[in-house]
Structure 1
């Protein structure tokens, strides 16, 4: 029921703070009103109790309809968020806590909650009502302190070390290292009864492989096979960092080589024990003692010479003494007491990553902690995956992978890089957060590097500008003219350049090729520009990019679909396919050399000694003629000549006449005498001078780049 009343007008400030207006009507009724934009007051209820004091305690609704205060447009806007405390509301309103308590008595009158300063208000409608009652408008924002925490903690990090009671024994991880062609893969084939070495291009290993082997004793071990070629140093370093024991394979016939010493340095840097396997002892004439002494000279003292490094002489091809090597490995693993936590979140390392044209993105992972199962969400570098398929080293599907187990993982959204740390996260949402955070970090690093380059360019520009400005001021009213029309200000870069696109079968191979290309140092003669690179087959996009940049596509160990090959031929794009890394590098060197300008080279033809100088009549004039004998090669009439007197060159030019026995000839052979007259009639030769006959030929230049192998 509503009735009209006479109202006493109060100031707007009083209206906002007290929420009541007093009626001028006879009696002591107070009425709740709504102030609208038309400055009218409307009655909503007349059944309120009289206020007991200036600080009202509670308003009894008694089933009556209540209309809350709506702030007027133009009032202050404050930011609110979910689960605010009473103190946080007071802070954003810039009022004391008592004010919020008063507002809460009206905004949450149907609740028995006893509010304190640190009470969290979970109902967002109550927070909004308190803001409205306080005469302010609101907007939803993120919690300020949460932004800082998320910025610091968005990346996935390894879990703390597991307690000792959670650790369980695990198989050892053994990395086989050494120089190229010393028999590393053959040794692994002998241990696991396979023949991988027969499938390798060029007879060398060009990938890092991870294999789980059951030894004759029944013990299990994981072996990492690393390439021995100089180009794959990054793969060897990666294998040494994630291993427990390094087996250094040294051929008894070759001895210690460059990559042998590099493997020793990497093993020491990773602080892992070394076990030496002296291979190829079946070859005749090998000297094992010489190999041991050579190792000792480089700081690797074996037990036979009084050191603490085990050295076992084996023959991988003939399978000799392999049981002794296995026993030494098992003993070393037992001494190390290798353990890991099979529970908790998964941690590991990416051994290799590649793209299969049929099954998509794949990565070989060595699990180091936890148990990897189907359905796990993992992040690694710039990629993440929800594990769909797990395959062991034999290619069989498995349900889980325990610590020290290599496994092939399928289900990657983005392909990781070899060597990336693998971490398990709670959900796909969390994985996306980690990827965004890492992307932002990369962008920040790129901005910093770009800013540094911009500052350098700006300082160079300022220096040139100040120099030109000083020169302009020194000329006074005399101004220099522009050199040519404005169109000539844009000059094309005609410097010889080789643009390349690299596609590889696995991430490690692409990494090795890029590392080799980074050693190129002959940019002054011909530039080498890397347009793009990637893992997987050659795609139509690669052909388009190559056509735009006039680049050559180098495909290493990958197929090129027939349709893409036809498009490349039609577009005039050169596609070079290789399966041995040093042949690919040789092809790049040849292309660089082909782009160098041809140079003029002096090719000697013959040499003659001057015996006598005399003059002959030619018409009415006397001309000087040198009587010579050819002592080397032959003299050619139309060639170039140089006269050497002592150590000095006194004349260079062409002949005007070459005669033998008064006959004009074109060639003088060795031990023949002749008369030579030069084009310059004023040049007089002397007996004892040496005449050198030569011609200038164009020869191809060769780049000075040395990739190191």
Structure 2
């Protein structure tokens, strides 16, 4: 064949076919490319698998029509089965598509039906509301018209003024229409506001959500409509208030002081761009803007102004009444202060104190034979209770200085004299133990002269009385002297004002909570009074007098135990009665914050150089950490002060924590973390604390006498001291000759000139009385034998450990060291 016959050119069956493809590139460039497509040759076997193809047969002749080409090795039956499976799958897909389409259609119809039902229900509800609203408005209109007609009938007007009145009464419906228009406009605005926020289902369906007004809202609306019909709404007069504004204030408190709604204040702040809640604090400048916006007046106050409510006021002489004197008994340990008070009270207080010494400040009232009432404060005399004695002198009117006639003036006696002079209170000297054979009252009077205390017997102005707590001698004279001194002082106080007093002692009672012994100084403290004392506040739950009886009130100079505090105050704090709990809480919080700021400022004032110097100084100081828990605040402070005095440059006692009350599990945990013992003074550990201490190995020591506590801590601190090393010189030896010995080195031939030379002793090599070497002996021989020691006047051989520079005429100094325990 030729190309002109219109047939394809000769070639292999299924050969490559050529064509043009247009390729696109960036920047609009294109290119035509000639490509060839190659066909894959597929070999189909003839019918009858495995048989060779017959000559002249057509490939695939045995295959079913329409089957096309199939892979090699597939029989006709297999091909038919596969085709049927494909057709069945297509039929199932068609059925599934039809079923899904029917379900979607049914769901769409159901949605349409529900939407239509919801719309119908919404329309019905709206129509019912409209009908009810229309009925209410019609009834209200009829009531107003009847009211207007009744008023017009009751008060007829002149004919010439009839027209203006009718002109006012005629448009009675207009306010209602205006009200309805206003309501509709407000409703639209509210609806727009709701739609601008979260979209609900009812809103999406076109309804208002079926929200019904409350009865209160309906009443408010009717009241507004009635006021408008009667001549317009009557607005309340704005009350302008003076708002006290501190440096920071909570939003709710600001609204309360302005008597405004909290929501309005929050809204005003949000309009200013501050997203706050009612429980957040704002600064004074922002609060001042809010106050001015609401039309009130601002009075700026500082935090310290909260205490203005308890400032002392001038007392009117007409209100003052006589009060009992407060007498403080002072003196040295074991001079008989408490025994003297026992004799006056005819009680046995000393037996109740551990070790027979007073460790708390006791407050008692005593009535004399003449009917005079005296308030006594019994202070401890031990040196550790100096601060407690100083507090006793601050609240007292008269000081009774007790001095033992057989012991004269002692250190604590001098302290008591100084406290009395510092407090500028009169003093009465009671010379006790005059019943003893070795008593010498005149020596006491003479010793007091050295401290500028001149008694009346020596032509002075200080009263002195010789007494005996055992026999009762001189007690009446002592009470007379006290009454005379009180009469001279003319002590007065106003019992009808808010009470003020001083805390003599405070403790944490297990059953009663924090308890404070308070001496009322002015006013009357009643049950139910709200008070603030130091950093604590409370409400008087109960008052207990010195006899243990509950009382309703306590006047001036009366000591009572006060229950109802929220915490344990410090001994010496001042108690003031205030009007409200809010004032008491505010004052207590201010004082607590001020105390924290003061401590923080004291810590911040320390420079880095000071810290480094302190750290360097503390490097070589051993510390004994302890935890102290006591029954009352005064005892805890006295123990801490005593602990601070224990120690020297090498060791000291460090009180990690001290407090009032029982030993708790928290105290045990702190002691375990710091490796410290827990010291309990007149307190015990609770059950959980004891179990925790046993598990963690924390030592708890109990004491009831302060002497024993101080002595034990001092002994424990002494154990931290390093032992003192003492040297004892036991001999001298002079080197006569130096020999070289194999396997030993240089050996000095010596003559022991003084004392004894021992193998175990230390030695120093002296050359021209200068120490050249200090060490130990490697060998000490007498002739050829190793000996433990060599006596004076004998010759021996010595060799030093690791040292060979020895010469004739050198002197060897022999000494022994011993360690000696030290104590504070």
- Give the TM-score normalised by the residue count of structure 2: 0.61
In the alignment, which of 702, 706, 715 is matched to residue 581 of structure 1? 706
Q: Is structure 2 residue 525 aligned with structure 1 residue 372?
A: yes
Query: Is the 2:735–2:812 contact (alpha carbons within 8 Å) kept by the matching residues of 1?
Result: no
Whose radius of gyration is greater, 1 or 2?
A: 2
Number of matched pairs: 573
Q: Which residue of 1 aligns with 2:749?
A: 625
Q: Which residue of 2 aligns with 1:13?
A: none
3-state SS, counterpart of residue 243 of structure 1: coil
1:167 deviates by 1.4
1:514 deviates by 2.6
Q: Is structure 2 residue 694 aligned with structure 1 residue 569?
A: yes
Q: Which residue of 2 aligns with 1:474?
A: none
Q: Which residue of 2 aligns with 1:608?
A: 731
Q: Is structure 2 residue 662 aligned with structure 1 residue 537?
A: yes
Larger RCO: 1 or 2 (CA < 8 Å, sep 6+) = 1
Q: Is structure 2 residue 815 aligned with structure 1 residue 693?
A: yes
Q: Is structure 2 residue 180 aligned with structure 1 residue 180?
A: no
Query: Is the 2:306–2:586 contact (alpha carbons within 8 Å) kept by the matching residues of 1?
Result: no
Q: 1-side partners of 2:527 and 2:386: how far apart?
A: 33
Q: Which residue of 1 aligns with 2:806?
A: 683
Distance 1:109 1:556, change over 3 A: farther
Deviations 1:163-215 (A, max 9, x none): 11111111110001112222111111111112222232233322111111223
1:283 deviates by 2.7
Q: 2-side partners of 1:437 and 1:212: how far apart?
A: 35
Distance 1:62 1:164, change over 3 A: farther
Distance 1:380 1:241, change over 3 A: same
Q: Which residue of 1 aligns with 2:370?
A: 217
Distance 1:650 1:335, change over 3 A: same
Q: 2-side partners of 1:602 and 1:447: how far apart?
A: 47
In the alignment, which of 535, 540, 550 is matched to residue 382 of structure 1? 535
In the alignment, which of 638, 659, 672 is matched to residue 512 of structure 1? 638
Deviations 1:498-545 (A, max 9, x none): 4332211101111122333445675x7457544322100001121122
Query: Is the 1:654–1:678 contact (alpha carbons within 8 Å) kept by the matching residues of 2?
Result: no
Q: Which residue of 1 aligns with 2:408?
A: 255
Distance 1:458 1:644, change over 3 A: closer
3-state SS, counterpart of residue 506 of structure 2: strand
1:329 deviates by 0.9
Q: Which residue of 2 aligns with 1:269?
A: 422
In the alignment, which of 671, 681, 693 is matched to residue 556 of structure 1? 681
Distance 1:236 1:644, change over 3 A: farther
Q: Is structure 2 residue 390 aligned with structure 1 residue 237?
A: yes
1:334 deviates by 1.2
Deviations 1:18-38 (A, max 9, x none): xxxxxxxxxxxxxxxxxxxxx
Q: Is structure 2 residue 423 aligned with structure 1 residue 423?
A: no
Q: 1-side partners of 2:355 and 2:242: how far apart?
A: 73
Q: Which residue of 2 aligns with 1:153?
A: 306
Alignment RMSD: 4.5
Distance 1:662 1:700, change over 3 A: same
Distance 1:556 1:609, change over 3 A: same
Distance 1:440 1:691, change over 3 A: closer
Deviations 1:459-480 (A, max 9, x none): 999xxxxxxxxxxxxxxxxxxx
Instruction: Spell out the pairing of 1:379-418 with structure 2 (5 A cutoff).
Output: 379-418=532-571
Shifted more, 362-371 versus 421-430: the winner is 421-430
Q: Which residue of 1 aligns with 2:343?
A: 190
Structure number having the greater helix percentage: 2
Q: 2-side partners of 1:253 and 1:193: how far apart?
A: 24
Shifted more, 429-438 versus 319-328: the winner is 429-438
Query: Is the 1:626–1:685 contact (alpha carbons within 8 Å) kept by the matching residues of 2?
Result: no
Query: Is the 1:607–1:690 contact (alpha carbons within 8 Å) kept by the matching residues of 2?
Result: no
Q: 2-side partners of 1:306 and 1:451: how far apart?
A: 56
Q: 2-side partners of 1:499 and 1:119: how far apart?
A: 55
Q: Which residue of 1 aligns with 2:40?
A: none
Unaligned runs of 5+ in 2: 1-167, 191-227, 244-257, 279-289, 613-618
3-state SS, counterpart of residue 344 of structure 1: coil
Q: 1-side partners of 2:658 and 2:446: how far apart?
A: 44
Unaligned runs of 5+ in 1: 1-58, 74-104, 462-492, 704-709
3-state SS, counterpart of residue 278 of structure 1: strand
Q: Which residue of 2 aligns with 1:639?
A: 761
Instruction: Spell out the pairing of 1:588-599 with structure 2 (5 A cutoff).
Output: 588-596=713-721, 598=722
Query: Is the 1:292–1:302 contact (alpha carbons within 8 Å) kept by the matching residues of 2?
Result: yes
Q: 2-side partners of 1:420 and 1:681: how far apart?
A: 76
- Give the TM-score normalised by the residue count of structure 1: 0.70
Q: 1-side partners of 2:789 and 2:242: how far apart?
A: 112
Deviations 1:93-126 (A, max 9, x none): xxxxxxxxxxxx9xx9655999999999x9969x
Distance 1:636 1:305, change over 3 A: same
